Chain A
């Protein structure tokens, strides 16, 4: 073993929010989902939210397993349906802070309809989308964010479809907070997630992540560490940029930052207004 025994104190500082009896988790070596989850747990602690009222909802896929590792009320729903499930939770008990933690395939492909409608309604929830550009769990198939001409298990000759630009999709649908970071920008991601958690309305944070086992391997992009180095060289922070301009091409620049941070009445704001009017008080 290592040269000198290391003194191991009782617990990893973030253990209290982890179901550590379920670690090590299922994600591959070099995958960024664990880092995104790590930043999320840090953000949760810094947010000061009452943790017993925070609920994590995940869909199906690699990132979908995240809910199972967080020691809070957590739901692992069917593929693409985390957001409507969370909508029900949130409206049933407005004390709950619902967070959807899922992947690009789950949220944007099969779950795309729910995603755009939840953003449109501006129901208070935070959506964290770990985007590794493909369906990892099922073996690296092409997805709605796979860059054009990229190779995957189901686009072996190159992907002939334009991908979604997630910040643009979220912003166009009505999200009040839109940010994108990579799994390298851990400090900024943690701060952004705290902002998103405390933001009233539909907040969206995209986290670009390596997928060493499938997408990165099939496109000769190297190991997880190579992707993280790639993020260091090729990402550029441009806060407030028009999300229209943040497309990602295969191997191209990745614009990160907080693009949208606006105020808009939430679904429950309108409900309260209606309730007040119904009770005859001047609204």
Chain B
């Protein structure tokens, strides 16, 4: 790996760990706009990118940042941006451009209290449905959610590899507490690296970039002589606009299936005491940490409680939830919103188990006892 990349043990905030994860993963382009609580990522990149021969540019707004990231990806670099709620909303249209043009890139959202300006310096997890449905049209998205600075590092690396493997933007849905808390972070000698899929034919006026069986086409970059055409319009395999329903069916179904069909490879769960449990706490991000403690307390009281932590929130692991639902009484779903992923758990449980949301409107964190009360109620 290029020099200037950190290795070893560190005491780092989540935001910093995210930036270092990107650098370790080979990210060499960051375009962003200052926004609490994600600014530390931008600041770290501004300091570190020149040291590793990368580019940091602060754009005039988040719309420009997202587009600069897309351009940089087509320029051949691993590229990312980081923002929070308000910026995330501004990035929606061009996240869609990234999805439609199958542009690998990473978009980190360090969530804060919303809506609107909300609580800039305080925690929230209210953007989870926006992550799934925020841009217009039919599509599938990958969203990972760290519960610690170490995971923020690891999942940022994973986001880049998933982005290249599936040729898609990948979201890292963190939150203010994980972003600002400082913990031990171990940076390995080498991190996994999935190289970009290059065409297996020479440059020239190639007419098409056929997707393989895995539904993912090879990616030629700008400047390599392939004379590619990339458009946000519905397009055929040559990249030429083909705005008809036949092409739409073929293209959009592929864009969805290339992710949905590979759920097994993408989805990452962490389970603790799920087998034989009566009540499962199912959560993500900082809420999952508090939930883990609540499960611990419940087990000490003799309640058969388990923890199902979603490291990938999208695509949602409905098969696993459905399977577990038939063996447990209830799911308890703590999240700092008014019930978003809880709806998904309920949908997946199909009524086989009760789903009890534990909600917090943002700006703070519930106590483990709040979740414990829900577990006790469910276990009765």
Q: What is the minimal beta-carbon distance from B267 to any residue of chain A, in angstroms?
A: 30
Q: Would you give the 0/1 interface string for A52-84, flagging 1 where the beta carbon is closer than 8 Å to chain B?
A: 110101000000000110011111111001001
Determine if B61 and A92 form an interchain contact, defined as CB atoms under 8 angstroms apart: no
Q: Is the CB of A78 within 8 A of B97?
A: yes
Interface string of A109-126 (1 = CB under 8 A from B): 000011001000000000
Segment of B194-202, B225-233, B305-313 engaged in the interface with chain A: B225-233
Given known A-B contacts A77-B232, A92-B55, A92-B76, A85 and B225 have beta carbons under 8 A apart: no
Contact B230 A75 (CB under 8 A): yes
- Asked whether B67 lies within 8 Å of A88 as measured between CB atoms, the reply is yes
Q: Is the interface of B mostly helix, strand, loop or mixed?
A: mixed
Look across to chain A and name the residue whose beta carbon is closest to the beta carbon of B229.
A74
Per the 8 Å Cβ criterion, residues 59-82 of B in contact with A are 59-61, 63-65, 67-77, 79
Q: Which residues of A contact B71 (CB under 8 A)?
A: 57, 75, 84-90, 92
Contact (A91, B240) CB under 8 Å given A72-B227, A113-B61: no
Interface residue? B150 (CB, 8 A): no
B223 adjacent to A93 (CB under 8 Å): yes
**B55 touching A74, Cβ below 8 Å:** no
The tally of residues in A whose CB lies under 8 Å from a CB in B reads 35
Q: Does B203 contact A (CB under 8 A)?
A: yes
User: Does A250 reach chain B (CB closer than 8 Å)?
Assistant: no
Q: Which of B201-250 contact A (CB under 8 A)?
A: 203, 205, 221-233, 240-241
- Asked if B50 is an interface residue, CB under 8 A from chain A, the answer is yes
Chain A: minimal CB distance from B332 (Å): 41
B353 to nearest A CB, angstroms?
43
Nearest-CB distance from A44 to chain B (Å)? Answer: 13
Q: What is the interface residue range for chain B against chain A?
A: 35 or more
> Told that A75-B71, A86-B71 touch, could you supply 20 new A-B pairs with CB distance under 8 A?
A52-B224, A67-B231, A68-B241, A74-B228, A75-B222, A75-B229, A78-B67, A81-B64, A81-B94, A84-B59, A84-B64, A85-B67, A85-B70, A87-B64, A88-B69, A91-B57, A92-B28, A92-B79, A93-B221, A278-B51
25 example contacts (A-B, Cβ-Cβ < 8 A) are as follows A19-B240, A52-B225, A68-B231, A71-B227, A72-B227, A75-B71, A75-B229, A75-B230, A76-B231, A76-B232, A77-B232, A81-B64, A81-B94, A84-B67, A85-B67, A88-B68, A89-B72, A89-B74, A89-B75, A91-B55, A92-B71, A93-B221, A95-B223, A113-B60, A113-B61
Closest 8 CB pairs of A and B: A88-B71, A92-B75, A88-B68, A76-B231, A84-B64, A92-B72, A88-B72, A84-B67
Chain B interface residues toward A at CB < 8 A = 28-29, 31, 50-51, 55, 57, 59-61, 63-65, 67-77, 79, 93-94, 96-97, 203, 205, 221-233, 240-241
